[in-house]
Structure 1
Amino acid sequence: MWIDAMITIKSHIRALAFRNPILLAGIGSFIQVWHLDQFNQFQSLNYEQSLLEDIDGIKFIQSNDRLEEAESFQFVIYSVRFVQFCKIRFEKNLNPSNIEIIKEQKIHSFYRTLDLASVPLALSDQTTQQLFIWINSRNEIIEFDSLNEGPKSKIYGPRKCILYAAKFLSITSEYSIVASGTVFKEIIIWSLEFESLKVTELQVLQGHDGIIFDLQYNAQFNLLISVSDDRSLRIWSDHRIGFCPQSFRDWASNRFESKQIYYGHEARITRTQIVIYNNFPLVVSIGEDSYIIAWSLVEPFRMLKRKKFFRNNRFWSITMGSDYLVAGGSDGSIHFLLIEEFLELNSYRSIRYQNDGISFIKSICLLDSALFKMITYDNRGMFHYVDRENSYKILRFENFDFEKNFNDYIRMALNQNRNRIVIGSKYGHLGLIRIESNTINLFRNIHGTNSVTIIKKHPKTCKIYSSGRNGKIMEYYCRMDQTRNFVEDFFHLRTFTLFSSMDWIAGFQFSLDSIHLAWGFESRYFQIWNVTENIKLFDEDCGGGHRCWDIRLETNPKEPITQIEFVYYQQNSLIRLLNRKNFEINNPSVFHNFPSIPRKINCCQLIFETDDSFFIMIAGEDTVIQILQYHRKFARFDVKQFLYGHISNVTSIRCWNDPTSQCVYVASVGGRSQLIIWRISSDPDDHNQLITQEKNINFNGYYNNQTDFEVAIRRSINNPSNIDRDSIDVRYLDVDINKVTMDGEKLQLRIIVACSDRTIRIFDYFEEIHSSSKSQLVLRIVLEAAQTCINRIRIISRIDVSKLVDDLGVHSSNDGLIHFWSIDNDYDETIDHQSSNPQRLKSIQSFRIHQTGINAIDLQINDRG
């Protein structure tokens, strides 16, 4: 679980510090206080205090101040110009009204403080005092004790240089060991002896190709972590395994060596945090690419988890808060990421193949998840059966030439009911393998010429579904003989499209009536989507390009998914991810976040409404129109249909309800001067299902199919004098639709369209009622309507207003005017698509409403006779 808490201060969060149960966040020049409640959840105490200067760091220091009914922590805030000592006092019940931050000593500084530490010093009267030391961006250590008003001493490091990162590796009452990350790509390890103020350079580490941005050290494993703007994370350790410096002499002999180099961030890395989780050391890095990545600090070295937060521009701070990773971003937001969910849900397991001629594995098919049984197919055309003991044996098919029929690509899918495997090739072949009898049935080119990416059998029927890299799903029928052991026939039924959210669909799972889940690859990520609710359930960065993988989902009647098992092959190893999680989606809020169209939504239109649900259409900067159903009882959205037909973005949707036939006529417009008329009705057998028919499609008012339109475009390029190029490139910005006449035989609808070339196009749609297949869309007239671009357009029908003789049109434009005009005026209705001279609109009245463009209008008609 992760919580995203946005506050009102929009500034960088460069400082985070946690001491149970208090979390302090430095947001710009403000301090915000959070606390960890009894339910292990972070809650904001709504306490903020300004320090008048941007905060670079916060660090808790040791304190023995404890009161009977209250607690207090000492902490230090540092910035470019000061080091501020503070104390936070609070009651044990954490009443927000009783939180108090007390400012104590403030020491002015002229350089940025990078790290701070405290050392208890014994005095002659057997008392102790705190010696504070910090290192600044000039590679200078400053000492300060509580008995002095100002700094006790200033000591330069072995080299005078500019630092972006520094870390105290060890500090005692006698000496300190410092790591300084310079702008010259080096890390200087040096010591300071307090009594003699002797400075010694112990070691210089080189390897980074950029400025050192952060340093972290783990004393238990003697590991030094460095990150840089070269986007790399490096692990340094002494060559003596298990050696940990305990004294000054140990540090003098300690020699850090590069142990591992990690790459994975897409921008420079800003901060790291070492985490010991279940006695396993790992490091978490954050960067300006909004990624949080966990890396292993011990063998086997690898990336453990990679997660991106899309809203943040950059991450600037990170800390550990009990069971949470807490990260601060550049937009003033704080992310709380539960470590158990971030790391423990995915368990990995590898099986290493022996070096017996296998150069790579081509395909994987899971047989039994609990026993980790699977079948793999290698580059030599051999099948391997992997058993529960992590060993494998070869399944041989002596009489079948896999190289000839499937070449270098094969995809497998398990028929779990009868322990058979259906395989597919890039040539469109399908093969049915019987494991018990070692026999194969081959069906050549049954998938056409498209390479096969997924094959799936419906569990309740004899239908089989397959999909390829073109995103289309093909439905087949598998007819078995009476013994149910032999396939008599295998033929194609239909082809349809599910949705276009992925690069290519790799698999799907069925509900009782439709496809419920779908999964596949989007770039380098493997994703699982709930299709009915259009929500992403799983996202794993596996490098992309993996043709050799398989997935298994566990479900029960109460939850859609209880476990996800994902296996893929990479660098001669099988990697298995086991994700256990409750994926059930409950949203009791009256506001619903439904990630529908992957890009901006331009329009939304209500089309049907019943007692228990309603249907809406949405479209936007995508070519697909979606029909959504909202269930009032379950308070959720489902995607009912995807409508394809637009070749560019969709800008507007308007509908007219036919009360006599209980259907809806919808007009949708968009780029490339495209207009589509849809007819939508409810299924008489099931009112929750819709029947959608594409009635007419038109380009530019003159072309009724895409081929003729593209031919006209090519002709306009080759012969500009033949067709006006500007009229070809026009975009439709808005549309409205209304009824003109409707008798017992024919329906006529009026459609008006606002265009980007400052014109209005008026269409008439005709349909024979008793033969809905007979329809016609006619461009009636093109009107020059404004000096600037038309934004919105609407129809006022004389049927709705008794005083009107003609239908009226209303449109708004970029000059702030609203215009009223007659649609049924006496215009010359001769349309010549070779002409680029539209007729001038005869306006009835115009009103200036705004000084700038009007982007939205709506009408409410009050007909009082």
Structure 2
Amino acid sequence: MPESRLTREFFQGPITALAFIRGADYLLAGEDTHLTLYDIKLGNAVRVASVRIFSAQPIHGIRPLTSGRVLVWGSAQVAVVYPIEALLGEGANVEDVVVKKTTAPDWIYDVSPSPYHDSSAVLATAHNEVVHLSLDDNNIPGVGAVVSPSRPILYAASLKWIDQDSVLFAGGTVFGEIVVWKCHVADGRSEMLATLSGHEGSLFGLNISDELVCQDGSAIRLLVSCSDDRTVRVWDITKQHGTTDRKQLDFAAPRETGFGSTPNGHDGSSQDAEALRPIATVMGHASRIWGVKFAELAEGDLLPQSPVTIYSFGEDSTAQRWQLDLAVSPKGLSGSLKHKETFAVHDGKHLWSHAVTRRDHQTIIATGGADSKISLITQSILSSSQSATAPTHDLTSLEFQQVLDQLPNLRTIQHVRGREIFSRYTFLSEEKVLATSSWGRLILGTFRPSLNWTEVDIENEVIADLQSCYTMKTIGDDAVILGTTNGSLYCYRQDQGVTHIGTVPGKVFNISLLAEPSEGPMELIVHLHGTADAQYLSVDWRTGAVLETADIRGMDSRFVAMSAARVKKDLIAIGSRHGFLSLLRQAEEGYRPVLNFRFNSSDAITALVPLPATDGEGAPSYFLATSRDTKYRIYEVEDLGSEVRLHLQHEVAPPFASIIEGGWFTPDASPELVLFGFKSKNFVVWNETRREEIAAVDCGGSHRTFTLAHDPTDYNRIRFGFTKTSKLCVYSQHSSIHRPLRQGTHGREIRALSSSGRYIATGAEDTTVRVWGYEEGKQGQPANKGLRCLASAKLHISGLQKTQWLGDEYLLSSAGYEEFFIWSVRRLESCYQGLGLLCEAGLDDKSPAGDLRIVDFDACKIDSQNSIIITLAMSNSTLKTYRYTPGHGFKLLARMSYTGACLTQVRHLGVDENGLSALTASTDGHLATWEASFDDNETSSHVLVHVAPLHQNSIKSLDLQPTSEGFQVLTGGDDNALGITTITPLSHEAGNRRYTVSSRGIVRKAHAAAINGLVLVRRGGETFGATVSNDQRIKIWRVQQDKTQLLADEYSGVADPGDIAVIDGPGSDAADRNQGKLRFVVGGVGAEVWSW
């Protein structure tokens, strides 16, 4: 039997608190009950250590103190953690960290350590209270008296020390009011300052600024607020005068409830402090805004000349940057808020935590999301008094006339109709760009760091020819090939100038490189306008010499080539504008097609990229194809000599773009896939492996000339050139604008889990299906432990209900709107570790409305027919059984309706070619057994065999294990109970498919809430069950018919768990599984892995 200790190996859940320490060298994160330290010094993103602070309470906030101490709180609990230095360096030891805790009288919203006394702090609580917290000589926290002018319920609060004894308090109420008052800590007095009205929703975020210095020497203090009315508002709270007693009386007076209400006796037009209005208001985000934060001003900046930067963090999982411009007039302070930038670096919904700090001339923003991801965003802050440093990115835009004005010896060109503008351009290298003009002028731009231009000296005949230049491609270091509509081909090298290398019989409208530029000769295909014929060339890019040519003939006359790549050793793939793909092999007379293939789409195939071959292998057998239909695909090439076949292995629409223009694989030992394309007005570069945005540029949309260059060793370094209103715009990104400290999971609740042993499949409310590998981490490298996403697909249009593996190669999923998909999962023979994920089939047999949920299903293979028998439980109490055969689709075999209770679970008890027996559970708390006989000529009905009551209400989870007598069934209910049932056959005759419930047992109050997920496993001759519940406990049970024993009970950090599954390592054999420890994965709001 496994040891009885239940241990959490891995957690990935919402990031609920963040705080920088030691400047911005380290970041502390609240990850459920644990405080985790990350090293974020320049170039680093390393998880250092993690300390458990609370036993069963997530961390809600972190505030650094002096002397290596940190204040941490969650709910009403607050702890002092020290010394943090014990976690730093190579000798980091979690055991040396001390945690001392106490409890506040109410839920804590904010904590502010005193800048005047290193052992004093104040707490803001949910009922408009300030509580003094002091630390004794042993760092034991003590809670002082409660100070409050009144006790409304707050949803947010912010504190700011204004002198040694006074704290400014701002609290946001449920009904959209902000109460501002001053607490005198020493004598426990409160002084009411103002009530600010205007929000039309509950307040969720507040932040009080430091004193901001103005040009006239005065200082102002601002308050920024946000709420579920999606507005950000800025208030001037510098001076609030009046009689304290009157204001307290007014605030405590009876008032109407509801948004926008005013206290009795005030009509809203008074100059009274309670009638203050915001100095700036703006609407932002797509939904509720959870937090706001002022950024520090650059050194030497004064108001109102210098703008103030504000960051907001929302339910839409974005962080947004706002610029507050202030103006001073006799009537007072006024301002306006302008949106400057949006950072979409998280999945799903909710940014639950944030931190903002300054490092040198940069603002560092940390965001923590419900997707369990932590991202660092870097923003440059330079005042006019500071010397410029290289920003993370910049955008240059210039007219061609500006270039002409820079040229020292401008060449006179015979006048051509129209003004001279940029025509074609490409990047020679990271620091150089080559461009032609509409008049045939050839110019070279160099980034030093600004863009400087020189004119390339070329002959008049070449100038006339380059007036019809239609395409340019970089083929090597400082080497470019140019093609014209006159059929001329030129090679440019900076040290050799322009050389005419050949002529093709037609207009050149595109040139495709068969591989990325390298040290060897460059293979390319020249595509001609108006014909499917093309020309193959092999060019020595160092000299411009053409080493080999070959004709490409025999393709369909309607074929309009767009892209090409070499696959295998002697095959070339060419993609067309209309979704056709042609594979060509070299023959004596040139390249001729051996396979013509039609994509699943008629949109253009924009790029073909070979997958990296495995070590020691030759040319790759796979290639990637991007398309303008929002999808990218991976094909396997099967070369049989006499014929060539293509097998689609992967087809996915990533979330970043509606038009995918291309991609590449990084040259790492474990290559990553980077894609780029257009979404609305933006050009986006996207890391599909990490599922994160690298860059987004507002270029105006896809209908324009553009070129992209990237650093081969650092995919974050890119240059993007594009034409906008006849201007050449160059976006340069020198480093990543953001970098992840940890990768995330789904951005919504995980509702379905299934493990194949090698892989884990998850389905969530974000409608995506993801396939993960669990890496246990090598000894001494716990940071490598965790879930790694291998594939992700968003084909469902509603939240997932169930996922189930059939071996390692088939994955089944169901959701609302009667969606049921069968996915083919393939491991690719490539250094690229992503899996091939392909939706092989979808169920089309739906009800007239098509709005039912497939709440559960069970499936098994019938080897003799190479088919799958699938039974679906529908939300209208209908049971359906289908046979799925690859290539032939679904055939309905049987159907039947239960009572008015909704079916919630279904399991097969036995399946063969002639029929099946099944077990169902439902919302009325009953178990039912069914049988069905299959008839190829008509649809049969399921026959109800036996019904047995078990739970008081809905059965939410079920699992079973075969026994010598029949089946042992474990059920979890909405009544918090655990049911143990034995199912046996009515007859042991061959062909019997009738089962009955022979015994039942129930464990009342097995959990304190509904049991949403459970799994039943056999180990060492015994049966064990693992259960998860809304009470956030995971429990292990020894399951016997006459006795059920609780063996382990631990707090789980996964809220609202949806499912639980058993992980069997990919290399474990039967003996290992029988004697080794069990490992469970839990999914809900986040994911956990437990071992027992």
- TM-score higher than 0.5 here? yes
> 1:863 & 1:527 partners in 2: Cα distance?
59
Q: How far off is 1:177 after superposition?
A: 5.7
The 10-residue stretch of structure 1 (385-394 or 504-513) with the greater mean CA deviation from structure 2 = 504-513
- The answer (yes or no) to whether the contact 1:316–1:328 under 8 Å persists in 2 is yes
Residue in structure 2 matched with residue 239 of structure 1 by the alignment: none
Residue in structure 2 matched with residue 289 of structure 1 by the alignment: 314
Match of 1:88 among 131, 135, 139: 135
- The answer (yes or no) to whether the contact 1:295–1:305 under 8 Å persists in 2 is no
> 1:306 & 1:729 partners in 2: Cα distance?
35
> 1:648 & 1:799 partners in 2: Cα distance?
33
| CA 1:276–1:178: 2 relative to 1, 3 Å | closer
- The answer (yes or no) to whether the contact 2:762–2:771 under 8 Å persists in 1 is yes
Residue in structure 2 matched with residue 831 of structure 1 by the alignment: 938
Residue in structure 1 matched with residue 393 of structure 2 by the alignment: 348
Residue in structure 2 matched with residue 95 of structure 1 by the alignment: none
Residue in structure 1 matched with residue 116 of structure 2 by the alignment: 62
Query: For residue 663 of structure 2, what is the amino acid of its counterpart?
Result: F
> 1:467 & 1:266 partners in 2: Cα distance?
36
Q: How far off is 1:99 after superposition?
A: 0.8
Deviations 1:533-575 (A, max 9, x none): x42355445457565776555466xxxx475335467997644
Cα root mean square deviation, aligned: 6.7
Residue in structure 1 matched with residue 674 of structure 2 by the alignment: 518
- The answer (yes or no) to whether the contact 1:139–1:162 under 8 Å persists in 2 is no
| CA 1:24–1:308: 2 relative to 1, 3 Å | farther
> 2:393 & 2:168 partners in 1: Cα distance?
42
- The answer (yes or no) to whether the contact 2:893–2:935 under 8 Å persists in 1 is no
> 1:283 & 1:104 partners in 2: Cα distance?
36
Residue in structure 2 matched with residue 100 of structure 1 by the alignment: 140
- The answer (yes or no) to whether the contact 1:327–1:335 under 8 Å persists in 2 is yes
Match of 2:508 among 423, 441, 457: 441
| CA 1:645–1:44: 2 relative to 1, 3 Å | same
Q: How far off is 1:629 after superposition?
A: 5.7
- The answer (yes or no) to whether the contact 2:379–2:737 under 8 Å persists in 1 is no
The alignment status of 1:272 with 2:427, answered yes or no, reads no
- The answer (yes or no) to whether the contact 1:795–1:807 under 8 Å persists in 2 is yes
Unaligned runs of 5+ in 2: 1-25, 34-53, 152-156, 172-177, 199-205, 226-232, 242-259, 262-276, 326-337, 383-388, 404-419, 457-461, 493-497, 502-506, 510-526, 530-559, 562-575, 579-601, 614-618, 637-644, 779-784, 966-987, 989-1092
The alignment status of 1:500 with 2:609, answered yes or no, reads no
Match of 2:882 among 763, 766, 776: 763
Query: For residue 353 of structure 1, what is the amino acid of its counterpart?
Result: L
Residue in structure 2 matched with residue 820 of structure 1 by the alignment: 929
> 1:365 & 1:672 partners in 2: Cα distance?
48
Deviations 1:356-386 (A, max 9, x none): 18999898743322xx212468899987532
Mapping of residues 352-367 of structure 1, within 5 Å: 353=398, 356=401, 365-367=426-428
- The answer (yes or no) to whether the contact 1:730–1:755 under 8 Å persists in 2 is yes
> 1:664 & 1:162 partners in 2: Cα distance?
59
- The answer (yes or no) to whether the contact 1:562–1:581 under 8 Å persists in 2 is no
Query: For residue 779 of structure 1, what is the amino acid of its counterpart?
Result: L
Q: How far off is 1:467 after superposition?
A: 3.2
Residue in structure 2 matched with residue 374 of structure 1 by the alignment: 433
Query: For residue 821 of structure 1, what is the amino acid of its counterpart?
Result: W
Match of 1:578 among 721, 734, 749: 734
- The answer (yes or no) to whether the contact 1:270–1:286 under 8 Å persists in 2 is yes
Match of 2:857 among 710, 729, 735: 735
Residue in structure 2 matched with residue 854 of structure 1 by the alignment: 955
Query: For residue 882 of structure 2, what is the amino acid of its counterpart?
Result: F
> 1:527 & 1:308 partners in 2: Cα distance?
13
The alignment status of 1:700 with 2:850, answered yes or no, reads no
> 1:526 & 1:13 partners in 2: Cα distance?
37
Q: How far off is 1:844 after superposition?
A: 1.6
Match of 1:419 among 464, 479, 493: 479
SS of alignment partner, residue 823 of structure 1 = strand
Q: How far off is 1:469 after superposition?
A: 3.0
Q: How far off is 1:848 after superposition?
A: 1.8
Q: How far off is 1:668 after superposition?
A: 5.6
SS of alignment partner, residue 930 of structure 2 = strand
Query: For residue 628 of structure 2, what is the amino acid of its counterpart?
Result: R
The alignment status of 1:470 with 2:609, answered yes or no, reads no
| CA 1:808–1:322: 2 relative to 1, 3 Å | same
Q: How far off is 1:763 after superposition?
A: 3.3
> 2:222 & 2:777 partners in 1: Cα distance?
62
Mapping of residues 604-643 of structure 1, within 5 Å: 604-606=753-755, 614-615=758-759
Q: How far off is 1:860 after superposition?
A: 0.9
- The answer (yes or no) to whether the contact 2:773–2:788 under 8 Å persists in 1 is yes
Q: TM-score, normalised by structure 1?
A: 0.57
> 1:176 & 1:350 partners in 2: Cα distance?
37
> 1:688 & 1:328 partners in 2: Cα distance?
28
Residue in structure 1 matched with residue 902 of structure 2 by the alignment: 789
Residue in structure 1 matched with residue 1001 of structure 2 by the alignment: none
SS of alignment partner, residue 736 of structure 1 = strand
- The answer (yes or no) to whether the contact 1:554–1:562 under 8 Å persists in 2 is yes
SS of alignment partner, residue 734 of structure 2 = strand
Residue in structure 1 matched with residue 516 of structure 2 by the alignment: none
Q: How far off is 1:274 after superposition?
A: 1.2
SS of alignment partner, residue 579 of structure 1 = coil
Q: Taking CA–CA contacts closer than 8 Å with sequence separation of 6 or more, which of the two structures ends up with the larger relative contact order?
A: 2
SS of alignment partner, residue 664 of structure 2 = strand
> 1:685 & 1:131 partners in 2: Cα distance?
66
Mapping of residues 378-397 of structure 1, within 5 Å: 385-389=444-448, 390-393=451-454
Query: For residue 755 of structure 1, what is the amino acid of its counterpart?
Result: M
> 2:717 & 2:707 partners in 1: Cα distance?
11
- The answer (yes or no) to whether the contact 1:680–1:691 under 8 Å persists in 2 is yes
Q: How far off is 1:816 after superposition?
A: 1.9
Q: How far off is 1:752 after superposition?
A: 2.8
Deviations 1:699-752 (A, max 9, x none): 228xxxxxxxxxxxxxxxxxxxxxx835x666544433345683xxx5565443
> 1:315 & 1:778 partners in 2: Cα distance?
47
Q: How far off is 1:272 after superposition?
A: 1.0
Residue in structure 2 matched with residue 489 of structure 1 by the alignment: none
Residue in structure 2 matched with residue 660 of structure 1 by the alignment: none
Query: For residue 62 of structure 1, what is the amino acid of its counterpart?
Result: Y
- The answer (yes or no) to whether the contact 1:4–1:336 under 8 Å persists in 2 is no
> 2:634 & 2:827 partners in 1: Cα distance?
24
SS of alignment partner, residue 795 of structure 1 = strand
Residue in structure 2 matched with residue 253 of structure 1 by the alignment: none
| CA 1:374–1:36: 2 relative to 1, 3 Å | farther
| CA 1:190–1:373: 2 relative to 1, 3 Å | same
| CA 1:306–1:828: 2 relative to 1, 3 Å | closer
Q: TM-score, normalised by structure 2?
A: 0.47
SS of alignment partner, residue 831 of structure 1 = coil
Q: How far off is 1:688 after superposition?
A: 9.7
Residue in structure 2 matched with residue 230 of structure 1 by the alignment: 281
Equivalenced residues, count? 675
Unaligned runs of 5+ in 1: 64-71, 91-97, 119-129, 193-209, 212-225, 233-261, 478-491, 588-592, 658-662, 702-723, 767-771, 833-837
